[in-house]
Amino acid sequence: MRDNGTPNGISEDITVIYFLRFSKSLCIPLLTLLISTIVTLPFQPGVAESNHPEFVGSYACKACHEKEYNSFLQYSKKARSFESIEKMRKGLTEEEIRKCYFCHTTGYGLTGGFISPEKTPHLKNAGCEVCHGPGGIHVKTRQRRDIKRHLTREDCARCHIAERVRAFRYRPLIHGGGH
């Protein structure tokens, strides 16, 4: 004969019911939260963008590197390289002019780089960052490791391409053209 009425039987039932309630009301939302966190983690903006420092323009370097800044502005043709495009603008199509931007401005086509003289006036000439790389992180941390220091000929050859070097009968020296 079964004895359903004992206090023991009742308390067992209650335990089971509580467990089921718990799992529905708490476990499922908790699991959902956990899974969604794991899935969306790689897409958090902070995580993704920290690897891409922005270009800040040569003027942003002046406060801490005044000597290099002044001599760059005075002696380097890069500091006025947008004028070279302007001089030849007549007769060129918009598409042809955009091709000049790759070498005559700072960071055209790259994250946080030159877009147009109106939108990004601070990047319209080829500045410090065409050689030293984007300075967005370095200007905040002031650390050497956050800026490119040791340059090779390949860094220059991106713009001083072989046919241009022949046409102008000149090879850039690694310490020329900067400051």
Q: Is 53:140 a contact under the CB 8 Å cutoff? A: no
Enter the tokens of residue 107: 């960071």
Residue keyed to tokens 């699991």: 31
Task: Give the 3-state secondary structure of residue 21.
Answer: helix
The CB-nearest residue to ligand HEC is 177
d(CA 77, CA 118): 21
Q: Is 150:133 a contact under the CB 8 Å cutoff? A: no
d(CA 170, CA 102): 20
Residue keyed to tokens 């690694």: 174
| Candidate list 53, 72, 114, 137; residue touching ligand HEC; CB under 6 A | 72
Nearest-approach distance from CB 37 to ligand HEC, in angstroms: 36
Our CB check for ligand HEC shows the closer of 76 and 120 to be 76
> In this structure, which amino acid lies at residue 127?
G
Nearest-approach distance from CB 21 to ligand HEC, in angstroms: 59
Nearest-approach distance from CB 31 to ligand HEC, in angstroms: 47
Our CB check for ligand HEC shows the closer of 38 and 173 to be 173
- Label residues 122-138 b or e (16+ Cβ within 10 Å = b): ebbbbbbbbbbbbbbbb
Total residues contacting ligand HEC (rule CB under 6 A)? 60
| Candidate list 94, 130, 137, 166; residue touching ligand HEC; CB under 6 A | 130
Q: Is 117:82 a contact under the CB 8 Å cutoff? A: yes
Question: Residues 89-128 vs ligand HEC: string with x where CB under 6 A?
Answer: ---x---x--xx-xxx---------------------xxx
**Positions in the binding site for ligand HEC (CB under 6 A):** 56, 58, 60-61, 63-65, 68-69, 72, 75-78, 81, 84-85, 87-88, 92, 96, 99-100, 102-104, 126-132, 135, 138-139, 142-144, 147, 149-151, 155-156, 158-161, 164, 168, 170, 172-179
